[in-house]
């Protein structure tokens, strides 16, 4: 495949969120996450099986997958995170988008999430907030959109 270039969605991500609801917000950027913590996890939808005598499947169907997006941000006095919590509880819903290091690569956009924040501390990383976005059903389309991210 000499001469062919592949554009992979890896490297340092740019993570932005936008508040949803009665007073929607503009896209706001998070600080660069702690190395190795940015992850979109998929939980496979429940499997339904139509069994026949003898234990064989006559048909198999899966329910929709569910998703969770997580990353950690180190807390320092010089920065303010765009999501406010009270003991981990975030009142509003948010959209989140992830632009890979190479902006020509495919990114992730999630239109509707519920957010939880956990505060942790260890001597290696200092004070860190763990942001967990549980993906909710959007008004239209897929819950997780894999696409080129275009700034608005």
So what's the pLDDT on residue 46?
97
Q: Give domain status of residue 7, yes or no.
A: no
- Whether 89 is covered by a domain: the verdict is yes
User: pLDDT band at 69, cuts 50/70/90?
Assistant: very high
In the structure, what pLDDT confidence band is assigned to residue 78 with cuts at 50, 70 and 90? very high
Does residue 63 form part of some domain?
yes
Distance (Å, rounded) from C-alpha 103 to C-alpha 7?
Answer: 10
Residue 5 domain flag: no
Question: Is there a domain that residue 21 lies in?
Answer: yes
**Domain count along the chain:** 1
Element (H, E) at 60: strand 57-62
Query: Is 83 among the domain residues?
Result: yes
Higher pLDDT, 97 or 25: 97
Q: Which domain holds residue 66?
A: 14-147
Whether 6 is covered by a domain: the verdict is no
Do 75 and 128 form a contact (C-beta atoms < 8 A)?
yes
Question: What confidence tier does 5 reach under pLDDT thresholds 50, 70, 90?
Answer: confident
């Amino acid at each position: 495949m000499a001469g062919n270039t592949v554009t992979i969605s890896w490297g340092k991500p740019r993570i932005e969120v936008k508040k949803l609801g009665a007073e929607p917000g503009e896209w706001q950027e998070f600080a660069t996450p702690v190395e190795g913590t940015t992850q979109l996890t998929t939980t496979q939808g429940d499997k339904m099986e139509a069994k026949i005598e003898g234990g064989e499947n006559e048909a198999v169907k899966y329910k929709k997958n569910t998703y969770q997006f997580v990353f950690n941000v180190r807390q320092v006095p010089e920065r303010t995170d765009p999501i406010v919590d009270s003991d981990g509880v975030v009142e509003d819903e948010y959209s989140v988008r992830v632009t890979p290091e190479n902006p020509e690569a495919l990114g992730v956009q999630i239109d509707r999430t519920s957010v939880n924040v956990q505060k942790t501390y260890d001597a290696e990383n200092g004070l860190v907030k763990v942001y967990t976005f549980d993906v909710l059903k959007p008004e239209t389309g897929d819950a997780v959109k894999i696409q080129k991210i275009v700034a608005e």
